[in-house]
Amino acid sequence: MGAAISLRADFDAEGLRRLARKSKHAAQARRLLALALIYGGGSRSDAARLGNVTLEIVRDWVLRFNANGNGVLGIRLRRPQPPSFQALSLESMPMAD
C-alpha cells in the first residue's frame, strides 16, 4: 500500500465539526465528520466505518476536499434535472405584442 494522502493544512478537526453542524445535508455532514476524525488522529478505517463507506470512498473524499475545500463534499446530482413545471408553463405561453 502507498502512503496515505495528507489533508489540507488550512482546516482542522474542530472547524470541520463546526461545518458539519451547520450543514443542511446529512451526507455532507457525514463526510465532514469522517474527515474531522482523520484530522483528530483517527485512522482512515475508522473514518470509513463512521461514514459507512469503503476506504476507497474516503480516499475520494480526501482528494476532492484537498482540491476544492468543503463545498465539494455536498450533494452532487448525477443527472440533469428536468425543468420545473413553472418554467415549462412560462416558455409555452404566447407573448403579447
pLDDT digits (tens, 9 = 90+) for 6-30: 888 888 999 999 999 998 888 889 9
Measure the N-to-C terminal CA separation of the chain; round to a whole number of Å. 70
pLDDT at res. 74 = 62
Does the pLDDT of residue 95 top 70, yes or no? no
Is the pLDDT at 33 greater than 80? The verdict is yes
The DSSP string of 50-83 is: HHTS-HHHHHHHHHHHHHH-GGGGS---SSPPPP
Mean pLDDT over 47-56 rounds to 94
Distances (CA, A) of 69 to 2, 6, 11, 29, 62: 23, 14, 9, 14, 10
The pLDDT tens digits for 52-94 are 999 999 999 999 888 887 666 665 556 666 666 655 555 566 6
Count of residues making up the chain: 97
CA distance 16 to 11: 7
